[in-house]
């Protein structure tokens, strides 16, 4: 467990909703001691067992997990959960479900053989988008008959855990917001390049940390837009920034789902995103936002200008989120899956 990302937000929403439906969820966290996940556990509203996981390969962790495991269904998430939870479930002869959260190219490398073996032990594999289902079946090699899609659900933006610090964004600025890790996958460099051709009152704000921070800062200086790029890192009140934003930007090169995009839609923001992976399942091109090819900064800039000029995109996105991506739909389908096993 390394704090709150998209999959963690998913669990914080799903688990209490399952409890409301008669399921008794217990979260077992495999905690990396190098990180402090107190914000996640502070927000978790179901019982939890925390197991330290200081190493990738740790037979003692499996032994501790076996002692902690007492369930009718084991539902695993992310690589370490899949491996340790999958082995423990089979040793305990317990029904096993595994959710796949991303289409990272890592999954098509040598690890795909591990994933195929784990999928043979699983009763069902859940993917969070149809695009991810195709990736899991066609490129990873998981049997299609075991895989079904249950999309993320969201009804409201994330709650604040404090007040945001002061920032340099001037009043009246048009904020292009992204909530994203600073990694090559997320394509923030494309948004910076697009910003260079947008009007001076447009500012790019990216909430998140990651290894690309220095490279993004250097690119902004090179393009002369460093004063219009704000990287505050993680902030306590994401919803406050969503209320300030004029458009949400998501220039990802691949994406398992795009929960932050759904947050923006829930808040009534128009979205400009790349036409990759799952994003066309969220953003209705020309109705709730604009989709563009990946790694195309001029097209991205043009799409931002179009989104800023279209007042109907935001309300249409909010309605689409309410109709197709509710927490109730996600929880009902997950509870039905458990009961079917």
What is the per-residue pLDDT for 1? 45
What is the per-residue pLDDT for 34? 85
Q: What is the pLDDT of residues 26-60, one digit of tens each?
A: 999 999 888 888 888 988 999 999 999 999 889 99
SS3 271: strand
What is the per-residue pLDDT for 53? 93
List Cα–Cα distances, 9 to 93, 96, 135, 156, 303, in angstroms: 29, 22, 23, 12, 28
List Cα–Cα distances, 159 to 91, 131, 156, 162, in angstroms: 39, 29, 8, 9
All residues at 6 or more sequence positions from 258 whose CB lies less than 8 Å from its CB, including other chains: 6, 250, 252, 273, 278, 279, 282
As a whole number of angstroms, the distance between CA 101 and CA 7 comes to: 7
Task: Render the burial of 312-328: b for 16+ CB within 10 Å, e for the rest.
Answer: ebbebbbebbeeebbbe
As a whole number of angstroms, the distance between CA 2 and CA 164 comes to: 22
Q: Is 9 in contact with 44 (CB distance < 8 Å)?
A: no
* Radius of gyration from C-alpha coordinates of the chain: 20
What is the per-residue pLDDT for 293? 98
Q: What is the 3-state secondary structure (H, E, C) of 86-155?
A: HHHHHHCCCEEEEEECCCCHHHHCCHHHHHHHHHHHCCEEEECCHHHHHHHHHHHCCCHHHEEECCCCCC
Tens digits of pLDDT across the chain (341 residues): 455 778 888 999 999 999 999 999 999 999 988 888 888 898 899 999 999 999 988 999 999 999 999 999 999 999 999 999 999 999 999 999 999 998 888 888 998 998 999 898 999 999 999 999 999 999 999 999 999 999 999 999 988 888 999 999 999 999 999 999 999 999 999 999 999 999 999 999 999 999 999 999 999 999 999 999 999 999 999 999 999 999 999 999 999 899 999 999 999 999 999 999 999 999 999 999 999 999 999 999 999 999 999 999 999 999 999 999 999 999 999 999 999 99
What is the per-residue pLDDT for 5? 76
Q: Is 270 in contact with 242 (CB distance < 8 Å)?
A: no
Q: Which helix (H) or strand (E) holds 302?
A: helix 297-308
Q: Is 131 in contact with 310 (CB distance < 8 Å)?
A: no
All residues at 6 or more sequence positions from 43 whose CB lies less than 8 Å from its CB, including other chains: 4, 12, 159, 161
Paired tokens of 258 = 């795009």
**Could you tell me which of 335, 336, 332, 337 has the C-alpha nearest to residue 24?**
335
Q: Is 262 in contact with 196 (CB distance < 8 Å)?
A: no
Residue with tokens 């933006």: 157
CB neighbours (10 Å) of residue 125? 25
What is the per-residue pLDDT for 2? 52
Domains detected in the chain: 6-153+326-340 (3.40.50.2000), 174-324 (3.40.50.2000)
What is the per-residue pLDDT for 160? 87
Question: Which stretches of 161-252 are DSSP H helices?
Answer: 188-195, 213-223, 238-244
């Amino acid at each position: 467990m390394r704090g709150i990302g998209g999959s963690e937000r998913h669990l914080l929403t799903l688990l209490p909703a399952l409890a409301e439906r008669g399921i008794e969820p217990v979260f077992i966290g495999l905690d990396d001691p190098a990180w402090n996940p107190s914000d996640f556990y502070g927000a978790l509203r179901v019982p939890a067992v925390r197991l330290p996981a200081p190493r990738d390969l740790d037979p003692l962790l499996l032994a501790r997990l076996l002692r902690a495991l007492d369930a009718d269904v084991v539902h695993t998430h992310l690589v370490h959960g899949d491996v340790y939870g999958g082995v423990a479930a089979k040793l305990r002869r317990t029904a096993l479900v595994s959710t796949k959260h991303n289409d990272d190219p890592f999954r098509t490398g040598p690890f795909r053989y591990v994933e195929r073996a784990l999928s043979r032990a699983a009763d069902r594999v859940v993917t969070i988008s149809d695009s991810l289902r195709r990736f899991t079946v066609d490129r990873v090699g998981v049997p299609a008959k075991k895989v079904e899609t249950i999309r993320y659900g969201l009804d409201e933006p994330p709650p604040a855990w404090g007040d945001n610090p002061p920032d340099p964004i001037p009043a009246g600025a048009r904020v292009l917001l992204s909530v994203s890790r600073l990694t090559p996958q997320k394509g923030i460099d494309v948004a910076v390049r697009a910003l260079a051709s947008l009007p001076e009152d447009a500012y790019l704000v990216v909430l998140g940390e990651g290894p690309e921070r220095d490279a993004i800062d250097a690119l902004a200086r090179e393009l002369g837009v460093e004063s219009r790029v704000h990287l505050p890192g993680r902030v306590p009140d994401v919803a406050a920034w969503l209320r300030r934003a004029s458009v949400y930007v998501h220039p990802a090169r691949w994406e398992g789902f795009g929960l932050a995009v759904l947050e923006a839609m829930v808040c009534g923001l128009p979205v400009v995103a790349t036409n990759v992976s799952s994003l066309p399942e969220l953003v209705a091109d020309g109705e709730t936002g604009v989709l563009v090819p990946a790694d195309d900064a001029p097209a991205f800039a043009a799409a931002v200008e179009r989104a800023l000029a279209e007042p109907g995109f935001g309300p249409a996105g909010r309605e689409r989120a309410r109709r197709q991506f509710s927490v109730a739909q996600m929880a009902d389908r997950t509870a039905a899956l458990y009961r079917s096993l």
